[in-house]
Structure 1
């Protein structure tokens, strides 16, 4: 594996996708922690990096991308390693069950359809947005619940699991356009009409703010009804740093749209992921 390939796999970026996994673990309350650790490894050290690498290879970005301010040239070595990590993830998933392995395969195929030029869902603003929101939110939540509990598949359709799965997607549907806000010029030049590009810089902020508000109140009502009022209020408290950063950044962008840059985006991602990860860890430990 070359240094360029290692950087493009963006292993640290999995931290930003960890909240959905922790949420699934927290509400499913598993007892086999070796299985939980294996699922965590497959998702965050194999599946997500493979998706990152595959996307980077076909994008051939010259500007900043998620987790890499100055990405090196993406080579054929990156393409091969993304497929290797995918294959290892699918094989390791068989240690859980063949159904889980099939789910990992489906996620990998969808992520490839998002990037590969023959399909390139990234060029389709609404379909691309929904694909990321559904598969990194709803689908990943249900995959996590199934893998760490091995409950019958039909039970996943119960509202007990469907509600938090949908809330997970609400978070992703709101946050994903914000991760594209600094890439408008490069996306436009490449012909990728992302939802953020369609919304514009300020429109992306309004869009994300709306979805974040809806998701926050949705989580509050979910925790209040399913667990306790204190849990619902604690979730809102943990979102205060995210809101403060978001509003401060928005005011800067109102004055100068060039402030919608890579570094501000990554800081928002970090603050949001940190607060969610901490909350779900505390929630898991207390329940």
Structure 2
């Protein structure tokens, strides 16, 4: 049971939480009971189930996201992953509607295709990169805002929803290769050509920097004329993200001298810092 709980990596859900808070901050007439339910379904059931399923098929011996020394996996982990997904889909139907239930079913199915040995999208760098970016980003953003604001599916496909959804995806597309940067050797053993392996260590840093520049430009346009407690929203965003930018650049300079520093420790520090700053920003945006 202890090993199963470790492989659920529930604290790792914190790294995916900014998408939820961003969507919640853009709701107009939120149903807060549904908002709490969706939060719990995603972060306590769906994401941990995805982590467990991925762990079961990867059988990592080295460090993985949120778990430096993963314990051995068992068949029970496989069943727990399926059980959590099924429970989440059933509960979603009752707390919201069939739309949320279907959305969670689609998400869990895609996450399984990502890891499962038969399909294993993870073997294909571009496809896996896009899959993670789209489903953990835009798809999740639209799922959250549709459920909490009870938006019709036809109304959902408007600029005011699609643009921030796209920003969520681009944020993930930039962030995701950095989470793979310390796993090149482990991925090579399994024959998985991840996006980070394709780019190389230095290329991963440069690629991430380029994507985040695009995201920053996107936020600049999206937050034009908006304020957080009388302060320009974009200025608050830049202020809160500045520690991440400083850490990223200092780390990159170290890696240029010694590539072994592209390791688990620094990756988790960047993930944690980035998640704290983004979550804080979107929570402030929601409260304002």
- The alignment's TM-score, normalised by the length of structure 1, stands at 0.97
Pick the aligned partner of 2:241 from 239, 242, 248.
239
Query: Do residues 248 (structure 1) and 247 (structure 2) align?
Result: no
Cα drift, residue 33 of structure 1: 1.3
1:255-270 superposed matches below 5 A: 255-270=257-272
Cα drift, residue 29 of structure 1: 3.6
The residue that corresponds to 2:101 in the other structure is 101
Cα drift, residue 31 of structure 1: 3.4
The residue that corresponds to 2:161 in the other structure is 161
- In structure 1, runs of 5+ residues without a counterpart are none
Distance 2:126 2:83 in 1: 30
Query: Do residues 87 (structure 1) and 86 (structure 2) align?
Result: yes
Distance 1:273 1:279 in 2: 10
| Residues 210/20 of structure 1: CA separation in 2 closer, same or farther (3 Å cut) | same
> Number of residue pairs matched?
285
Distance 2:31 2:131 in 1: 31
The residue that corresponds to 1:65 in the other structure is 64
Residues 193-228 of structure 1: CA deviation (Å, up to 9, x unaligned): 001001000000000010011101211210115668
| Residues 103/93 of structure 1: CA separation in 2 closer, same or farther (3 Å cut) | same
The residue that corresponds to 1:170 in the other structure is 170
Structure 2 contact 226–233 (Cα < 8 Å) conserved: no
Distance 1:10 1:211 in 2: 27
Distance 2:31 2:155 in 1: 19
Moved more, 144-153 or 24-33: 24-33
Q: CA RMSD, aligned part only?
A: 1.1
Residues 102-153 of structure 1: CA deviation (Å, up to 9, x unaligned): 0000000000000001100000000000000000000000000011011111
Structure 2 contact 62–186 (Cα < 8 Å) conserved: yes
Distance 1:169 1:35 in 2: 23
Cα drift, residue 190 of structure 1: 0.6
Distance 2:140 2:162 in 1: 12
Distance 2:178 2:161 in 1: 27
The residue that corresponds to 1:220 in the other structure is 220
Distance 1:69 1:132 in 2: 22
Structure 2 contact 226–232 (Cα < 8 Å) conserved: no
The residue that corresponds to 1:284 in the other structure is 286
Distance 2:227 2:161 in 1: 14
Moved more, 27-36 or 225-234: 225-234
The residue that corresponds to 2:196 in the other structure is 196
Structure 2 contact 10–44 (Cα < 8 Å) conserved: yes
Distance 2:30 2:126 in 1: 39
Distance 1:45 1:98 in 2: 20
Distance 2:37 2:30 in 1: 13
The residue that corresponds to 1:24 in the other structure is 23
Displaced runs of 4+ in structure 1, greater than 6 A?
none
- In structure 2, runs of 5+ residues without a counterpart are none
SS at match of 1:224: coil
Query: Do residues 54 (structure 1) and 92 (structure 2) align?
Result: no
Structure 1 contact 220–236 (Cα < 8 Å) conserved: no
